Structure 1
């Protein structure tokens, strides 16, 4: 059984896409590090990266070529100064040279050394083939697949599995529910036991709160950054405009002070919903601008979890509690693991139901727990949220993670809140559909869905909306 930690689902990355930016970045890192480990880095005189399938069809709009250059250069998505990304990649283009891992220069022209091939490789629509040649004429070749959520698989190898012996191993929500009924423990209690097979209790708390800080800072930055989004669609950032209407004449120097002030607001229902949309917009406008986000479970859906978490902290709880944040993220991450194990979190495999649908399901479950819901109500909320995302297509206009992706995060967050409210007012024993059934249905729907609606920009809105996007 594949064992997944909540930290496999929730991780820090750079926008705009976990499968098209973060995944290729990690694949390139692995390739170039394997060359260094073999003590051959100094012998490399040329390197080429081929991007296949969905990576080719929407790669430029998703910043895949940028991710490749940064990965080859030795930059890491968790630590790179996002303000320097454009400068670093522009230098590579102008100099027609790249410093592998920042230490070994080789000739490199992104127009010829990064090749976009629309055909699919056998294993997955997101294929990455890389080769490097040495001074002695040796050719080093590896193929990787970016399988969604930043996960990467090397061809010929099984996906890396965590071979930990968990106290409560669960492949499905039904198995998790059985553990809670047998032990009388909450889901959070079960998760704490499982997560401590990977990390200490202190490390779990520290890393989850670090994820929260990245989310919070991303929302803050998105609410305070005006202008147009990059890529050629000339989309205006809406989060700062929404924010100014909701909180005019405000001036906060630190994100933590800003969020604390939000907890003191008294809002009617309409204002609260506008805040939720503002939070979601802020994150995904940052994501579209190559900003730092938390993949949850993907970059394209990164706005849902922080929007719903902030909704709970600011408008339900009215205080910032570390325990609430930690429990929310643990529940959300755990629900995400079941979609990864039982279906997919890759839009190239399942459309946007695999991104926004999964994130909405994760958020609904987490919110329901924090609002005092039972284990069965938590499962019910997760099921309801996904049930009303089934069949959602991934059809980004111009191949950019902007239209309709940014608005979908707002819709996913609102649906999560609605799903939670329905579950909290219901008797889950009367439910006709289980979370296990909806996950299985989501996977069958993904298999039935045409490739036109799986992050290829060959159908739906991407086909009907005519836009002229300049080549990157």
Structure 2
């Protein structure tokens, strides 16, 4: 039986905020639809296109930028390279011109109001994050495809199971934590080392390491940019950015010129508990304020939870003097394996499982990664991941105004702090005496997700989302 194979670069993707499931996934789906038309030789015959958004994509689509994502994806723009400063201007041009250039070269008429449909009352059975693209041709025929954005930027086309089938022969196939532990015991490899061996099924080791460092470059750029950008977040909630002010207050006018000298300046402030705690919060806020501003971030494993792992990694680099390629690769590789276990055994989609599936999973990933990098055993790594998730079970996803801002941004700070605490607990504990396994908590998280009321699954129909009076623009 084929197994789902997940690479480091599936769990960590460079993209544009504010949501991996509502922005990056629909963006990729739109690109795939245009590519499909082009491969079939029908792109040049398209007369009109329509986009249908279902379920959670409809209910929180505007707040999460789903409408923006599909327009840019249909236009042939790529979230990894597209200039984030041009996101809003290009969408504004499409709306004003009432036309869209498919794939960057086929111009068709397009009305935002009439051709992009938010089907608030309709949901497709496979997954709440569903969207359908329809292309109408000059000869009167049409072609449509339905895609599901299943979390973390992963996309699955309807009736297409290729995304979950084995495409490579991995040296150490892993479906759950128990299998991972068996391989570690047989080989003596650390979890990160086992991951890097498996990555060789796709590419050479040096290519993998270079790719991971590219991911890190995107992460550190995002953290640094977020710590130096003030203002108010878009969307109408008028949430003020806090990371830049925290950065200035904590540094107390110590000078620096770039990321490297910034780290030195931070270290010069000492290692007082409160000081470190403030910096961890600042790092997490910085990333998710960038995310909420349609900035370039790394899904870790999602955009809504994109600040947890960077904050813990930045803490490790800064306060454990670990600014070197080897330890950064070790951290990201370990985190990716923990995340893949949750994706295989449960979900990383808030629309399926609430925020436990995003902040909870990211906290578990960060906890496990930090534990290995601080010298923990393989069992302690799994114990740390279990502790972190255990204390996120049942966490709902209830974004106010459908925006990835409140309570999402602050939740990243809490997820990061819990990850560090979980790592410290695991490092001081005997995992042989643990009562709860990582597999047990993964299973519990999935059962909790299935029992959770749909209004707490990224619909903005319950929780905090309906307790705060709002006066938001329509779009």
TM-score by length of 2: 0.97
Paired residue secondary structure (2:131): strand
Supply the distance in 1 between the matched residues of 2:209 and 2:257 (Cα, whole angstroms). 26
Q: Name stretches of at least 5 consecutive residues in structure 2 with no aligned partner.
A: none
Q: Which residue of 2 aligns with 1:82?
A: 84
Shift of 1:162: 3.8
C-alpha contact 2:192 2:331 (8 A) present in aligned 1: no
CA offset at residue 373 of structure 1?
A: 0.5
What's the counterpart of residue 450 of structure 1? 453
CA displacement at 1:7 relative to structure 2: 1.3
Q: Tell me if 1:150 matches 2:153.
A: yes
Aligned length: 471
* From 51, 55, 58, the counterpart of 1:56: 58
Whole-angstrom distance in 2 between the partners of 1:165 and 1:68? 34
Report the secondary structure of 1:368's partner residue. helix
* More displaced stretch, 152-161 vs 432-441: 152-161
Q: CA deviation at 1:252?
A: 4.2
Alpha-carbon distance in structure 1 between the residues aligned to 2:255 and 2:141: 59
| Contact 1:300/1:355, CA 8 A, preserved across alignment | yes
Distance in 1 between the 2:424 and 2:13 partners? 28
Could you tell me which residue of structure 1 aligns to residue 17 of structure 2? Answer: 15
Equivalent of 1:254, from 254, 258, 270? Answer: 258
Q: Is the 8 A contact 1:263 1:313 kept in 2?
A: no
Please report how far the alpha carbon of residue 79 of structure 1 lies from its aligned counterpart in structure 2 after TM superposition: 0.5
Measure the CA separation in 1 of the matches of 2:272 and 2:174.
41
1:116-155 mapped onto 2 (5 Å cutoff): 116-118=118-120, 119-155=122-158
In structure 2, the partner of 1:366 is: 369
Shift of 1:465: 1.1
Please list the CA deviations of residues 405-450 of structure 1 after superposition, one character each: whole Å capped at 9, or x if unmatched. Answer: 0000000000000000000000111100000000000000000000
Q: Which among 50, 73, 83 is matched to residue 71 of structure 1?
A: 73
Picking from 260, 275, 280, the partner of 1:276 is: 280
Q: Do the aligned residues in 2 keep the contact of 1:264 with 1:314 (CA within 8 Å)?
A: no
Residue 295 (structure 2) aligned to one of 291, 295, 305: 291
Q: Secondary structure at the match of 2:62?
A: coil
Written as runs of structure 1 = structure 2, the 5 A alignment for 1:405-424 is 405-424=408-427
Q: TM-score, normalised by structure 1?
A: 0.98
Q: CA deviation at 1:159?
A: 4.3
Answer yes or no: is the 8 Å Cα contact 1:148–1:347 preserved in 2. Answer: yes
Deviation per CA, 1:373-420: give whole Å up to 9, x if none. Answer: 011100000000000000000000000000000000000000000000
Contact 1:304 1:413 in 2 (8 A): yes
Return the offset for 1:27.
Answer: 0.5
Quote the Cα distance in structure 2 between the aligned partners of 1:253 and 1:30. 41
Match for residue 387 of structure 1? 390
Compute the RMSD of aligned alpha carbons: 1.1
Q: How far, CA to CA, are the matches of 2:107 and 2:74 in structure 1?
A: 11
CA deviation string 1:137-192 (max 9, x = no partner)? 11011111110000111111114134211111010011010111122222122112
Per-residue CA deviations over 1:58-115 (Å, capped at 9, x if unaligned) read 0000000000110011000000000111111111111111111111111111111110
Within-5 A mapping of 1:130-279? 130-160=133-163, 161-250=165-254, 252-279=256-283
Gaps of 5+ in 1: none
Q: Which moved more, 1:376-385 or 1:158-167?
A: 158-167
Question: In 1, Cα distance between the equivalents of 2:266 and 2:178?
Answer: 37
Q: Would you say the 8 A contact 2:256–2:265 is kept in 1? A: no
Per the alignment, in what secondary structure is the counterpart of residue 60 of structure 1? helix
The answer to whether the Cα contact below 8 Å between 1:188 and 1:327 also exists between their aligned partners in 2 is yes
- Measured against aligned partners, the alpha-carbon deviations of 1:192-214 in whole angstroms (never above 9, x if no partner) come to 21111111111111110011010
